[in-house]
Amino acid sequence: MPLELATETTEIKTSVKVLSGHTSPETSFLQPDYPYGRTLRCKRKVWVETATKGSAKGKMRFVHQTSNPRKSTESWNKPHAEQYRDFLLMYVNPENGHVETAGVDVYSVEEVQKFKAQWYALLDEDQKAKLDEVEQRTVAINNYWSRRSRLTVVANGSHKVKTC
């Protein structure tokens, strides 16, 4: 029996603020008071970058960049990017005010549906469309591999396999 898409959301995080529209250094979310080492404070830019070419095309990753408080003029350090995910979002944790990320990959239908149930109501329209696309790809991939494994079992069951 093929897997199906999630029909409705059940668990919703209501006190979390999901950040959207922060897709480049120019449109990044700015954290004005961020720790830099043990005693210094700096500014920090964070954004979610989407790959436009290569093997990671369409995947998303978290990128952050800090200012250098040791310099008299405002200069920015090199940006640091995390690993790519199939879907990624940034949110402000209400318990501590920190910017955190949540993401999901196309490996498990159950994981994608659980993620969708938890976050879908808080996303904007672009984010919802991207998450729906990831869910559809996950279902298609899992259906393909389950059909393929059933065919392999049937093929191996009808022929004798030589063993050495």
* pLDDT per residue as tens digits for the range 34-87: 999 999 999 999 999 999 999 999 999 999 999 999 999 999 999 999 999 999
Could you give the C-alpha distances from 23 to 28, 67, 128, 154, in angstroms and in order? 6, 18, 16, 48
pLDDT tens, position by position, 98-154: 999 999 999 899 999 999 999 999 999 999 999 999 999 999 998 888 887 776 666
The pLDDT assigned to 8 comes to: 46
Query: Alpha-carbon distance 6 to 22, whole Å?
Result: 27
